[in-house]
């Protein structure tokens, strides 16, 4: 069993860091009101608001903020300000033992997938795949269900995803149980061949992405297929794939791509989960036991905090 961080309490301090790209300043500022509504205080990493092209400061600065927030006894949880690109540039320099010795809530998604995978594998830590401050919480489109999902940090709760939340489609039938792992498909594919590549053996694999046309999704899934990641998984949870349109004359649909890789996989696969670059965004803990019932089209996930 992985280490589940302690639940948050009203009045706790959250650390805000930018491990990847810089957040939009106006959206970041607007998002802080939501943390206040949750009854949380916050402190920014020393370099969290820096801009270094498409990076939020240098690699060393972003790494320093990550380490300092895990070291800081006042900080009870860490939320990433934004995704984008850059977390993988310093992952091989992270003191992953520091996280194992100081477990606390760590929340983000998209480019943060690389950090989720590293912490899950070498820090044995449950982390959270959920919406971030600048690009999500600080926007008018931030949904009430997305906001409600933060309550799982304050009270251990079993999560139940049914078609009451969104229409779901079974690609391959069956029922499977295992740790929920994964995240952004592009980041998972990039990690293959590194020491941080995802172990999917006997696990439920969550996949989501944005801005990848069907041919690109095809190539990414083929990479997972050829390296055994799909065959090893107990089941596949297909999250949101947004902005996947293509201008090419000859193409396959995204559904056709999914059918090619998943229909004859011989294990449960369900698509349509609002997990990813979407609203609402159903935030989930990674590294906890879960059950995917492709026949009933439900996903049940155990609590992520103690």
Structure token digits, residue 154:
């304050």
Q: Please tell me the predicted confidence (pLDDT) of residue 210.
A: 97
The band of 14, judged by pLDDT with boundaries at 50, 70 and 90, is very high
Q: Please tell me the predicted confidence (pLDDT) of residue 244.
A: 85
Question: Contact at 8 Å (CB) between 50 and 60?
Answer: no
Q: Which residues contact 306 (CB under 8 A, 6 or more apart)?
A: 4, 5, 6, 7, 156
Mean pLDDT over 112-138 rounds to: 97
Residue 253 has pLDDT above 90, yes or no: yes
Mean pLDDT over 25-50 rounds to: 97
Catalytic residue of the set 110, 117, 172, 186: 110
The answer to whether 110 is a known catalytic residue is yes
Query: How far apart are alpha carbons 6 and 240 in whole angstroms?
Result: 29
**Mean pLDDT of the chain, nearest integer:** 97
Mean pLDDT over 267-271 rounds to: 98
Residue 248 has pLDDT above 90, yes or no: no
Q: Please tell me the predicted confidence (pLDDT) of residue 91.
A: 98
Catalytic residue of the set 82, 208, 212, 281: 208
Residue at token pair 């997305």: 146
Note the maximum CA span of the chain: 56
Mean pLDDT over 122-141 rounds to: 96
Residue 246 has pLDDT above 90, yes or no: no
- What are the tens digits of pLDDT across the range 178-210? 999 999 999 999 999 999 999 999 999 999 999
Residue 270 has pLDDT above 90, yes or no: yes
Q: Please tell me the predicted confidence (pLDDT) of residue 184.
A: 98
The answer to whether 277 is a known catalytic residue is yes
Nearest CA-CA partner of 99 in 133, 63, 150: 63
Residue 1 has pLDDT above 90, yes or no: no
Mean pLDDT over 85-92 rounds to: 98
Mean pLDDT over 20-40 rounds to: 97
Q: Please tell me the predicted confidence (pLDDT) of residue 245.
A: 82
- What are the tens digits of pLDDT across the range 45-70? 999 999 999 999 999 999 999 999 99
Q: Please tell me the predicted confidence (pLDDT) of residue 239.
A: 98
Percent of the chain with pLDDT over 70: 100
Query: How far apart are alpha carbons 290 and 302 in whole angstroms?
Result: 6
The band of 300, judged by pLDDT with boundaries at 50, 70 and 90, is very high
Query: How far apart are alpha carbons 90 and 269 in whole angstroms?
Result: 33
Residue 249 has pLDDT above 90, yes or no: no
Residue at token pair 């899950």: 120
Catalytic residue of the set 47, 129, 277, 281: 277
Q: Please tell me the predicted confidence (pLDDT) of residue 174.
A: 98
Residue 93 has pLDDT above 90, yes or no: yes
Q: How many CA atoms lie within 13 A of 206 on its CB side?
A: 33
SS3 state at 55 = strand
């Amino acid at each position: 069993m992985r280490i589940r961080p302690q639940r948050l309490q009203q009045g706790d301090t959250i650390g805000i860091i930018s491990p990847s790209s810089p957040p939009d300043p106006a959206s970041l500022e607007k998002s802080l009101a939501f943390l206040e509504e949750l009854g949380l205080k916050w402190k920014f990493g020393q370099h969290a608001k820096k801009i270094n092209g498409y990076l939020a400061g240098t690699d060393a600065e972003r790494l320093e903020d990550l380490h300092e927030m895990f070291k800081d006894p006042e900080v009870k949880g860490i939320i990433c300000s934004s995704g984008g690109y850059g977390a993988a540039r310093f992952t091989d320099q992270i003191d992953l033992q520091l996280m194992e010795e100081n477990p606390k809530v760590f929340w983000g998604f998209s480019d943060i997938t690389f950090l989720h995978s590293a912490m899950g594998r070498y820090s044995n830590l449950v982390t959270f795949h959920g919406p971030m401050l600048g690009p999500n919480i600080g926007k008018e489109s931030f949904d009430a269900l997305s906001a409600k999902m933060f309550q799982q940090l304050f009270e251990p709760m079993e999560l139940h995803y049914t078609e009451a939340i969104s229409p779901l489609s079974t690609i391959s039938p069956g029922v499977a149980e295992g740790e929920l792992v994964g995240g952004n498909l592009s980041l998972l594919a990039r990690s293959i061949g590194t020491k941080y590549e995802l172990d999917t053996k006997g696990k439920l694999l969550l996949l989501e992405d944005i801005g990848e046309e069907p041919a690109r999704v095809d190539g990414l899934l083929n990479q997972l297929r050829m390296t055994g990641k799909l065959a090893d998984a107990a089941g596949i949870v297909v999250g949101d794939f947004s902005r996947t349109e293509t201008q090419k004359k000859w193409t396959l649909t995204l559904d056709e791509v999914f059918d090619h890789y998943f229909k004859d996989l011989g294990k449960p696969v369900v698509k349509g989960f609002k997990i990813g670059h979407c609203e609402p965004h159903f935030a989930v803990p990674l590294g906890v036991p879960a059950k995917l019932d492709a026949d009933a089209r439900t996903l049940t996930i155990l609590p992520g905090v103690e």
